[in-house]
Amino acid sequence: MIPEATQTEPLLNEIPSLDLADFIAGDPDRKARFVRALGTALNNIGFVAIKNHGLTAEIQRNLYESIQRFFFSPDELKRKYDLPDVAGQRGYIGKGRETAKGNKVADLKEFYHVGQPHPATDDGDPIWAEYPRNVFPKELPDFETYTLETYRTFEQTGKTLLRAIALYLELPEGYFEDKVRHGNSILRALHYFPLNPETTPDGAVRAAAHGDINLITLLMGASAEGLEVLRRDGQWIGITALPDQIIVNVGDMLDRLTNHKLKSTIHQVVNPPREKLGTSRFSVPFFMHPRSEMDLTCLENCIDAQHPKIYTDMTAGEFLDERLVELGLKKK
């Protein structure tokens, strides 16, 4: 049985920071320590900060500059890349389109989705028939360049982290490899637009409390504060990545697979203080998804008398469809 964090462990006011170099350096002791520390963090609070993640400062700067140019473009340009028939899985998704599960007011944001890039030539994998093709703003060629570069970097980093997670779960190190090969991952460029207190709907926030859908989320440092994580004692704590870190958290799919041993922690993005209401906030999470056929049935070694099975069996594709309907991005 995989060890679980106990309620006597100290409550965290900041998330643990780990160095991915410890896992890949070739030193068995450093690797084992990284695996234990990563698993403990994801078991306890569900979030961790990671250094040496592969994204250079130059990539991050270029990415943010390109997405800011897009979101500051006229609405008529942005709407050209709103694809009505793909349930918000590619292209531009405008203001008021996404509502957190269980919430009645739409989040105060707009965003752009980049998915798994199709290969130049057919490689015989039937999964490509499931994925819409990416669309990119022709007026801003750097947008495609830097979002795809970030996508590929985050995907590789995510695969490395899943190897460490597999070891923590007492699975073969390559357990997730075939499940995330050509996975349905999404890079989301987010713009939390300036707010007018006189026109903002009552109860509306930039991102209402929610858990992510996917296996793990990788998040580069945002352009402003606002991200908060719900600690297990019910207290919200602010999370800000240092310049050399990314934030990694457990998604609902990994929570289901591990029978809630690894925690998909509720988080939110709160509205800024009044003096900063007129400012934008930009953020770029990478939602690492598996292939749709991945079985999310709880792992047997995560179930015992003290931890009975709490989730029904379903595939990743079935779970994603269910959540897209709940978010208002897909019709039943």
Residue 177 contacts residue 159 (beta carbons within 8 Å):
yes
**CA–CA separation, 96 and 110 (whole Å):** 8
CA distances from 144 to 115, 137, 148, 189, 293 (A): 12, 8, 6, 12, 29
Per DSSP (E only), the strands in the chain are 17-19, 47-51, 91-93, 110-115, 186-192, 207-210, 216-220, 227-230, 236-238, 245-250, 267-269, 281-288
* pLDDT for residue 282: 95
In order, the DSSP letters of 265-313 are --EEEPPPPGGGTTS-EEEEEEEE---TT-B-PPPGGG--SSS---S--
Nearest Cα to 170, choosing from 302, 69, 271? 302
* pLDDT for residue 234: 87
* pLDDT for residue 9: 47
* pLDDT for residue 6: 42
* pLDDT for residue 197: 87
**CA–CA separation, 193 and 250 (whole Å):** 27
**CA–CA separation, 332 and 330 (whole Å):** 7
* pLDDT for residue 102: 79
* pLDDT for residue 325: 85
Enumerate the β-bridge partners of residue 18: 50
Query: pLDDT 10s digit of each residue in the chain, 332 long?
Result: 555 544 434 445 578 999 999 999 999 999 999 999 999 999 988 999 999 999 999 999 999 999 999 999 999 999 999 998 898 999 999 998 888 887 889 999 999 999 999 999 989 999 999 999 999 999 999 999 999 999 999 999 999 999 999 999 999 999 999 999 999 999 999 999 999 988 888 889 999 999 999 999 999 887 778 999 998 888 898 988 788 999 999 999 999 999 999 999 999 999 999 999 999 999 999 999 999 999 999 999 999 999 999 999 999 999 999 988 887 777 76
Find all residues with CB under 8 Å of 167, minimum gap 6, and list them: 35, 173
* pLDDT for residue 53: 96
**Top CATH class, 17-326:** mainly beta
Residue 277 contacts residue 197 (beta carbons within 8 Å):
yes
pTM over 0.85: yes
* pLDDT for residue 101: 82
* pLDDT for residue 2: 52
Residue 45 contacts residue 51 (beta carbons within 8 Å):
no
Q: What is the CA radius of gyration of the chain?
A: 19
